[in-house]
Structure formats: structure tokens, C-alpha cells
Structure 1
Amino acid sequence: MAADTGLIGESAAIREVLVKIEQIAPVTSTVLIEGESGTGKELVARAVHRLSPRRGKPFIAVNVGALPETLLESELFGHEKGSFTGAAERRLGRFELADTGTLFLDEIGEVPSSTQVKLLRVLEEREVTRVGGVQTIPVDVRVVAATNRPLREHVDEGQFRADLFYRLNVLSVYLPPLRERKEDIPLLVRKFVTEFSAMHDREFHGISGDALDLLVEYPWPGNVRELRNLVESMVVLAHGREIVSDDIPRAIRDAGGRRLLPVHVGPMVQGSERAQGRELEFIVRSLVELKLQVEELRRRMDVETRPAPTGAWVGDVRPAPAPVSGLTEVLPTNGFGMVRGIEPRDDSPPATVITLGPGMTMSQIERMAIQAALRDTGGNRRKAADLLGIGERTLYRKLREYEGEEFADADGSGEET
């Protein structure tokens, strides 16, 4: 079954996906595939087609999120000659090209509302009308759609029609991110090594246990696509020798040993631009960590270059500062009211959901991320510092900066647990 789909793995999550593909492939119902970018959604779509009675018919893939709104309808439904400027001849749309086969619509959540109405009609009536035309053309197409962000979120935000969502979500497949199936990473590495060694005619002498452990522990925000690209670079650059831990990029070595910040970033909308999903979460997390690390480096440089007065402590060789007290527990809205889900300790368990809004500064985001780390670690500042990837002294200093700003301490006592 794995050979037929191209999906590599022996984890329970992947076995569940393979079973579901086998169940849904023989029928003609629409399929919605959800999963982060780089998890292999098109592989699943192709597997559904390959295992279906339509296997000998066309499989047409189109990334609707990459097409401008002015061309999307023409690409999907076709157009008649002279229907708009530049339409020099009749053109068949993707629905007609996929007739009797399968049409894969990637990034379905990016379809504009005006096209959603027409797409729903095509799915309901099984016929299309070309742009600029009047004749309806019957089509027999199985639609498989994919999105890297739960489509229900688009519906809840009013960005996607509920009736189209229900029409697409007849059968659904969820592809888990790579960090949730770490046991599959060694299998994927071996598969990619074999593939790229043959492709580039490179002899590969293996990968050390320490190096493989680093790959297994890394959270892989780019999922299988990111791992595949890294393996290709290792095969090319380590020709004739074994890969060791020093060959792994520093970003992966440094990030693999600690967890991600306990922060989920909600959608941010500014004008016509939109950032969303796990990619935005990774960007914000990286920016917060970078800001904290740069501040710590700058402080260390200032200390090292400044003459120390008599009796003063130099650098970090000094007693740890006393715990900051007097911090009260409030919602960290900073006047924006942008933080959701953080309620008083007595009423609900800690929640760590941050929603970004236009105009928010890095300092405000940093402040909320620190609070999220403190809540996630039950107020233990040492663990929170490890989670943030900074030193304890840096965290103490940031807490002192927020003292008097009613920064929310996780346990309300100011004492380290």
C-alpha cells in the first residue's frame, strides 16, 4: 500500500492515513485533505486517484492560491474566444481537461468568494459554463481539495462559504506534521538518501547515530519537504564520507534539543495581505527568540567592554537576582485586546493562544510569548527560559522590565517553583 501511495512511514498516524486512502479511493465523493505545508497532500491526492477506478484517466492539479483572481475562473472553467482582452481563442478549463478523471485543487481556502459561488454550482450540477459563454458543458470529475489550514477556520472567519465547505468535506483526510511522527524520520532519511545518491551519482557512506538523533529531535516546521531538501544537500556535500553531527546545520542542532514555544498564533489580517497557519506561528516564534537572543548578546558586549567599578560584579559571575515580586495576574491585552483564551487561574487551565493584530510591536508579542512560556511551565522560570531558548538572567531582566506594567506571573507569587 505504501508503495502505491508514495507515503513513507510506519507510525500509527501514517497507517491511519493509508487505511483511509484505501477506503475512500473506490468511490466518487469529493475529498478534503488537510495538513501543514510540506506534509505531502498532493501525494495523497494522487494516491486516491491511482487506487480509484479513474486511474487510467486524467489527473489535473492546480494550485488555486497561486492564480490571480482575474485568471482563476478562466483556468478552472475555460473561456470563449473574445470573452476578455487577450482571449484570442477558445480555451478549455481544468474541469474539462479532467473530465472522467480527478481534479486536485490545492490551497482551496484561497479561492475568492466570487469564484466560490461558481465552484459550488459546478460541484452540484456537474456542468461548467466557460467565461464569456452561454452553453453548459457536462463534466464527470472527482474533486480532491487540499488546504494547509483547517477550512473550518476560514468558514468561521467568513472567508469561505459554509455550503461549499460541506460540499467539499464529504470525505476528509488529515495528514499529521512530521514532528508528530518522529519514528518515521529514519525511514524517510534512508529513502531520500537512496533517491538522491542515484540522482546525483554520489556515493553515500551513511549517517552517524548522533546526527540522526538531531534530525529526529528537530521539529521540522517545513515538514517532509524541508527534510527532503536537507538530505539532498547532505548527499551532495558529504560525498565519500559519513555524515556526522557537525554536518547538520546549526539551526537544526540548536533547535532540536528543546521544545517549541507554547504559542499558537491566530490569523493576522492587514489590508489585503494575510498570514496564517503554522508558517506564521514559526515566523513569530523565530522573531521572538531572535529578539531575545540579540538583546542578550548586546548586553553581554556592553558588560565586557565597560570598566567595572570597584566591588562590582563583572559579566554573569554574580549572585542570581532575587525573584521579582508584586506581579499581578491580568489579561495581557496591552490595550489591543488581542489575546484570547488566557483566563484567571482559578477558573480554567492555562491557555496559550496569541492572536496578532495590525500595528502590534515585537515588544508586545515578546511580552505575550514570555507569559505563555511561564504558564506552560507552571511558573518555573528556569524551565521557561529553556523553552524560550534564553538564559535565566535574560528572563529575569525581562520580568523586571515588565514589573509595574502588571505583567502576568504564572503563579501570582513571584517565587520560582
Structure 2
Amino acid sequence: MSDLLKDLQFRGLVNQVTDEEGLAKALEEGEISLYSGFDPTADSLHIGHLLPVLTLRRFQLHGHHPIALVGGATGLIGDPSGKKAERTLNTSDIVQNWSDRIKGQLSRFLDFELDKNPAVIVNNFDWIGSLDVISFLRDVGKNFGINYMLAKDSVQTRIESGISFTEFSYMILQSYDFLKLYQNNNCKLQIGGSDQWGNITAGLELIRKSEEDSKAFGLTIPLVTKADGTKFGKTEGGAIWLDAEKTSPYEFYQFWINTDDRDVIKYIKYFTFLTQQEIEDLENEVANAPEKRAAQKALAEEVTKMVHGEDSLKQAIKISQALFSGDIKELTSQEILEGFKDVPSTEMSSEEIGLIDLLIEAKISPSKRQAREDLSNGAIYINGERVQDLTKVISDEDKIDGKFTVIRRGKKKYFLIRYTG
């Protein structure tokens, strides 16, 4: 078995393979081209896309030729796989814009400048967009039996709730992608999440029927799960995006650092390029000194640096350390915005105001009596420093960059005051 397949299996990244022995032989005989598809269903990829992207990268690091397919055409249709209801259809302008943004994100992970095996980006709108309906039905659709399509999980799970002909035809379009890449790019392997197994095997069937002596393979990687049963990649604030404007590097870092002990080694195998020995050492740390959270720190640092770069990682760590130590004054106004994005906030004028009045106006304390008690008891902190002066007036010295004051009540309740002018 090739070193690459051994590494994928060690990391738990092999879910299903159509012909493992044949694929192993093909990998040992030389370089192959492979692809994975990414439909533009939003203006950014999210961390659910990371696994197939990084798997393409693993193949590239072993000398193979990765093809990232952006679904400019299939994104107009909608994949029913793993969906309980019909997707909302987007306009071609929106899908084109999203396709362009996704191309840019993919270039962070795949090397398009290598001399020997550069990655390639293709858009399936280039061959599907010009396909007329007669050609589609005669040359492509005739290869698919209705009973064969109905037996696929992606269709079966939607039969009762309903599936349109549009989404029903998605499997044929994805199969056509595989055929075109097989013909034009000598692409021998498609990879995707385990929910793509039906679409991948349908593509292999189309290649078999269309090309003599064809040799192609399919490989699926597991869908990422969490030990507590909640959905991976989702937080109370929504999805974790790869776009720093949608999910800040600090939020991204926090997502990974808060990984459950039961999941952390699995995620390190999935999402990092640490060696087997490094992973085994971290596994021992989790078993023998879980309170140090060494594995979580390694995971958060590796993935944040890979997605957002070294500088953004350093900033995320700086914000985390400042919030942990309470040394809020060390942060810039931009870092305050990132670190306190989800805490309750109140807009106020920049005029001086007594602290007790501010606590009432910002609904930090419910009454003046409670505000006085909170101050007297040492429960109020301004920018990380305890304040017990009942006559304290908020001045410019208490405003970070003249824009924010961070107030903490008790151990964990943070509030952000934003000054309007």
C-alpha cells in the first residue's frame, strides 16, 4: 500500500473506496489527477469544506495533481445530498460572484505555482453552461436508469418530503463533471464527503459506459462529528467561515481551542499536518495531563495559522491571553471588537458620566442600590481593573482608543460600551 493511503488511514480519512486495491496500485505506479467539487452555496467556504480541501493538499504533497472544481453550474441547481428540503435557487450573477470568491479561498491551501504538479481550478459552468437540453437528455441522461437513481441515498431520503426534477438531476450533472475531467484532464479519482458516495459512484458508472477500458476510482472521507452529538462547525453565532470578515481569526481560534477532549486527537489527525509521532505525543498529553490542553492549543494554532496566517494567529492568541488575564488595556480597539463581538453592548455619548449611572443605563446593574453593592463588593472591573470608588466618573482615560470601555461584572459577565462621538 502507498505511503499516502497509509497516512490517510492512520488519520481516519478513508471512509469508503470503490476499489482500494486498484487505487493503491495506481498511486504506486505514478502520479494521478484527482478532484473534489465545491458548490458556491454562499460567499465563503466554511470549516465543513476544510476536510476535502486538505485531503487534496495531502495528495499534492505526495506528488499528485489536485483539481478543485468550483460548481458554477451545479451551484445553480442544488445538491439534495444531506438536505431535508429543497434549496433556494440563486441567480447566475450571485453564483458567479460566489464562485470567484471561493477560487480565492482555495488558493490558500493548494499550490498553483508548482512546476511539477500544480493544482488546477476548473468551473463546471464551462462545459455544462453550453450544454443544450437535447444533447443532455440523449448523450448523458440515457445512461441513467430511473430505478438506479431512486436507489441512491440522496434521493431515497427525500422521496417522502419531496424532491424536484431539478435536484433529482443533480446526480447526472455531477457524474458528467467526472466524465469531462476524466476525458480532458485524465482525472482518475473523485473524493468527497461520505454523503457524496452515491454521486461519485454514479459518475464512475457513466465513465464505464462512455469510455472503453476505463480506470477510475472514488474515495469518500468521513463527515466530521462531535462526541456531544451537536453539529460540527456550528456555534450559537452560526457557521464557522473561512472568510475573516465573516468569522474573525479570534473566533476561529476559539472554536478550535474549545474542542472536547474526546474529539481533539481525531481533529488533529483530520485538520493538521503534524506527524504521526507528534500526534501520538499529544494523545499521551490528553491522557495524562488533560488540564494543560496541549492538544487543543496545538490544534487551534495549526489550523488558525493555515487558514489565516501567522500574524492573525498571534493576534488571536494575544486577545485570548488578555481576556484570560484581564489585562484588557493591552488590546487595540480592533482587537476589542473581535474579542467582544458577542457580548452585550450599549452605545453612549462620549460625555463624562458617573460609573453608577453608567451601570444603570447599560443595564449592567438593575438598580442604583445594586450598583453600589456591586462596587462596594469589588464585583465591577473597568478594562480589567477592579473599581470600588462609588464616586468614580468615566473619563477619557477609561476609553480604549477613545472608542470602547469594557466592563466586567463578577467573574465572567462582560459588557461593551461603545462611544458615538
TM-score by length of 2: 0.29
